[in-house]
Each structure stands twice: as structure tokens, then as C-alpha cells.
Amino acid sequence: MTTSTASAAPRTYEVRTYGCQMNVHDSERLSGLLEEAGYAKAQDGRQADVVVFNTCAVRENADNKLYGNLGHLAPVKAAHPGMQIAVGGCLAQKDRATITAKAPWVDVVFGTHNIGSLPALLERARVQEEAQVEILESLEVFPSTLPTKRESAYAAWVSISVGCNNTCTFCIVPSLRGKEKDRRPGDILAEIRALVAEGVTEVTLLGQNVNAYGVEFGDRQAFSKLLRACGDIEGLERVRFTSPHPAEFTDDVIEAMAETPNVMPSLHMPLQSGSDRVLRAMRRSYRSTKFLGIIDRVRAAIPDAAITTDIIVGFPGETEEDFAETLRVVRESRFSSAFTFQYSPRPGTPAADLPDQIDPAVVKDRYGRLVDLVNEIAWEENKAQVGRTVELMVAEGEGRKDAETHRLSGRAPDNRLVHFNADFSQVDAEGVRPGDMVTVEITYAAPHHLVADGPVRSVRRTRSGDAWESRTAAPKPATVGLGIPSVGVPAPLPDVPACG
């Protein structure tokens, strides 16, 4: 290496993420890989030398969004010699060479199974001066062994499995992510202990079908055992998981949730439809009675549990009677929030070829009625929280209006978002930080958040707050460990829709 090369500023990167929490976590690995290869994260407002799109293929507008963004970058790249563009994720796995045909200025296309190849592909594209397309059909290295740069000091995604063995007719994920691959319990727990040692106090266990964990090594109670094992990790205060599948959600998991103090009283349980006929057409191997039975048993064991869901409106063949069944199940389930979607056909899925596709105007009308009901119930459930005293983990960047209202934000144990008054006059709260814990009384409820405008009752400074303060105190050279990150993730669900 020449002296001039050694002293040159590192090339910068930016990762743009679309889609589910699995993509969010994959983007942390992409950042870790690039930093280990010598790249530096681009400063805000500065054009990055490498722009990476980590794409989603679940929604109909995913293609349009990607190609629109690539189109905007074409003149930018032309004005910045040496700039590179890479496209990865589910849409890249699906479209492959189509991307470089539609956007020939893209330098690298890589799939969901070979994110670890990105630095080498970028270098090969630079040297050979031609696009590199590399898509593997199966997973060769479990992603958690890759370098990871976490975006938060206090909370972390921990992947326990990748892929899915279900065959839902609307979902393209299994064909892009492959069959389920499970990590060994010891590897998962070792990663969690390492995260806790670095200051993380909350983890979210992550999988395409998280409660099917153990199918690969033949232990049907592996997931409940994993939850209980998390309860034995000293310093780990909050454990969450996403996304389970109702067909495989068993009572031993409910018991583990209820009996393990650091497993939080929050559950994301995808419904998709309340109509048994539609569920059958979706190949969802449960029916509304089973779904409601799960909800009842969870609430009996964990009375304060907040339950969220996913719902699709306008699946092919859905009648007004089918939609009425969905509304019925929503009323009975009393969800604290729901991700609601208008069905859109995805090429490559069985549902895309089904007859009786629903008129978009009908879908839009049903969607509006569903959203109104979901919001009405969520608001009623939130109003029931008024007067309760809760302990919040102070969050970073949660409230869009916090600067205007002079409030801070945090997550309650049940994962509800709470904006609270930053008046610490009655407590010793010098330098309250993201990751610290505050106790407040809920004074106001809105459909999607709660407010605590009274004075903060207590503050508990934590190792997570120490980690956040250490990370932000002064610029330091980026450090990336091999699958053992130094900091965690953005706030846990329900901020990002699940893939289940």
C-alpha cells in the first residue's frame, strides 16, 4: 500500500432499508460488513460513495419504489465518479438480472442468502468495471456469524432462525428466504450474553416463524425453553419476540411468557383474516376459533398483555360476509394496534393467479372500515391505561413532535409508546439518557400512543444508558465484532411490520 493510499479518506456508505424487521437486522449486518472492509458511514447531508438498497418484495409498490429511487440516483452517480449502487434483499433475490436491465447504472445485485459477499462484489465491480449479479439459492453461512453494526445501545434484534416452512398463498417470503434454518440455542444465548455485557438490556428474538424454532433439530418445545433460558441471563431486563404463527403457537410458550419475569407482556399474532374460508384459501393452517382461543389463553395467563396483529383486506374471493367475519374477530380480539394491508397480487405467489380478484374500490372501502374499527378499539384499550403507573425504557428518536412538545418518549413493558413530560423537578434525574428507566403515570390516551404529562416519579439509571452515553460522548473509530455487536437495534415492534 502506498503512502497516499494509506492516508486517503475511507469511502463512505449509506444503507437504505425497506420492509420487515428481518431486513432491518440484515441492514445492520451490511453496515458491519462495510465497516469491517474499511468503509465509513456517510455523514448526514453528504453523498455516500456507496449506496445500498436492502429491498422488500412483499408489497405491490416495492418495485416502483426501488426503480423510482434508482432513477433519482442515476444523475447523482453520473456527477460523482467512482460512486457505486448495490441492490440486495428480497426484491433482488426475486428480480435478479431484471434490475440491471432496468437500471444499468447499478453496480451490484446480491440476494438474501449471500449478504456477506457485498464488499467483495463491490470491489469486483470496481476493478472489472461491470455489474456483478450474485444470487445464491440457499443459505451458506448463518447471518449471525457476520459482522454487525447495531443502531442502538440499549435494545437488539437477535436472530434465532431464518426462512419459513409455511406455504401461505399470498406470501413470497419462503421462496426468497428459503426453508427454515435454526441456530443452536447455545449460540443464541452466547450472543445475548455478549450483548448484555456491552450494555444492552432488551432483546427481540427474531424469526420468520419464530415459534416454529426447533423444527430443524426436532425439539417442539425449543422456543419456550429458549424464553425460559433468557430469564436466567443476569442484566437482561426485557425479552420480546416476533413473529409467531397461530398454527404453531402452543401453551408451553404461553406458560413460559407468564412465568419468565423478563419476557414482556406483548405479543404480535398475525391474524390475516377472520374468515375460515379465506384462511383456507390463504393456506393459513388455523381457523378463527383457534386464533381466538390463543388470545383468550394469553389474556388469562397474562392479563396486561397488549396484542397486535397483521390483517389483509381484499384477498381474492373475499365476500362481504368474509369481511364481516374479520371485523367480528377484531372486535373479540381487542388488539392494541394492527398493521392493515390492502391485498396486492405478487408475481410468483399462488394467490396472484386465483380467480375473483376484488375490485380495488371495494378493497379500499373495506380497508377504510377496518382501519376505523382498529383505531376505535385501540383508542378504547389505550384509555383503559389512563391512571396506571408504568416503567418506561427511555427511547431515542421515537416521538416526531418531542422537540415541539418538550416531551421525551419511551416504551412501556407492553410495548405501548408513551410520550412523557421531561419535568424531573421532583426527582434526581441529572442526564436521563436513552436506555434509562423512568416511572410515570399515564394521563392521556390517543389511538396510537399514550401521554404522561405529570412529573416523572422516579428515574433509574442503567447500564444501557451508560452504553448510550459512552457511544455518543465522543467520536471513536468504528468497531465491529464477528456476530457479537457492541450496540443494539431501534425500538422493538410494533414499529416495523412482520413478515408472518
- Residue 473 covered by a domain: no
Q: Is residue 194 part of a domain?
A: yes
DSSP assignment of 32-92:
HHHHHTT-EEPPTTSPPSEEEEEE--SSTTHHHHHHHHHHHHHHHHHHSTT-EEEEEEHHH
pLDDT at 448 over 50: yes
Mean of pLDDT values over 55-61:
73
Q: Are 319 and 406 within one domain? A: no
Residue 344 lies in a domain: yes
Shared domain for 366 and 265, answered yes or no, is: yes
Is residue 482 included in any domain, yes or no? Answer: no
- Per the model's pLDDT, the better-predicted residue between 148 and 368 turns out to be 368
Q: Rounded to an integer, what distance in angstroms lies between the CA atom of residue 343 and that of residue 349?
A: 12
89 and 224, same structural domain? Answer: no
Same-domain pairing of 117 and 154: no
* Total Cβ atoms within 10 A of residue 335: 23
Strand partners, 328: none
User: What sign results for the dihedral spanned by CA atoms 409, 24, 228, 310?
Assistant: positive
Mean predicted confidence (pLDDT) in 79-102: 89
Mean pLDDT value across residues 395-405:
74
Say whether pLDDT at 135 is over 60.
yes
Of 134, 167, 182, which closes a domain?
134
- Is there a single domain that holds both residue 249 and residue 334? yes
Residue 119 maps to which CATH number?
Answer: 3.40.50.2300
Higher pLDDT, 375 or 431: 375
**Per-residue pLDDT, 148:** 74
Per-residue pLDDT tens over the stretch 65-89: 888 999 999 999 999 999 999 999 8
**Contact in structure between 289 and 332 (CB atoms under 8 Å):** no
* Among candidate residues 362, 383, 404, the one where a domain is terminated: 383
The identity of residue 401, as a single letter, is K
- Same domain for 427 and 413, yes or no, is yes
pLDDT for position 96:
78
Please indicate whether residue 64 or residue 274 has the higher confidence score (pLDDT): 274
Whether 159 is covered by a domain: the verdict is yes
Boundary (domain end) residue, out of 351, 383, 415: 383
DSSP 356: -
Tens-digit pLDDT profile for residues 4-49: 444 578 999 999 988 777 788 888 889 989 999 999 999 988 999 9
Q: Which of 399, 438, 439 is nearest to 419 (CA)?
A: 399
Q: Is 403 exposed, middle or buried (0-12, 13-18, 19+ CB in 10 A)?
A: exposed
Label residue 60 by pLDDT band (50, 70, 90).
low
The CATH number for 401's domain is 2.40.50.140
Across residues 248-260, what is the average pLDDT? 97
Residue 417 forms beta bridges with which residues? 411
Residue 160 shares a structural domain with residue 179: yes
**Domain identity same for 420 and 362:** no
Contact 357, 316 (CB under 8 A): yes
CA dist., res. 188 & res. 497, Å (int): 23
Q: What percent of the chain has pLDDT over 70?
A: 88
**pLDDT score for 28:** 87
Q: What is the pLDDT of residues 205-218, one digit of tens each?
A: 999 899 999 999 99
**168 among annotated binding-site residues:** yes
pLDDT, average across residues 309-330 = 98
Residue 26 lies in a domain: yes
- Residue 171 counted as an annotated binding residue: yes
Based on the fold, state whether residues 302 and 451 are members of the same structural domain. Answer: no
Is 2 a residue whose pLDDT tops 60?
no
Rounded to whole angstroms, the Cα distance separating 237 from 203 reads: 9
pLDDT at residue 370 tops 90: yes
Is there a domain that residue 470 lies in?
Answer: no
Helix residue ranges per DSSP H, 106-245:
118-128, 173-177, 185-197, 222-230
- CATH number of the domain to which 329 belongs: 3.80.30.20
Residues 224 and 331 both lie in one domain: yes
Provide the domain limits for residue 124: 3-134
Give Cα 161 to chain centroid, integer Å.
Answer: 14
Residues 354, 250 share a domain: yes
Residue 174 located in a structural domain: yes
Do both 367 and 394 map to the same domain? no
Say whether 499 counts as a known binding-site residue: no
282: three-class secondary structure by DSSP: helix
What domain count does the chain have? Answer: 3
User: Does the annotation list 20 as a binding residue?
Assistant: yes
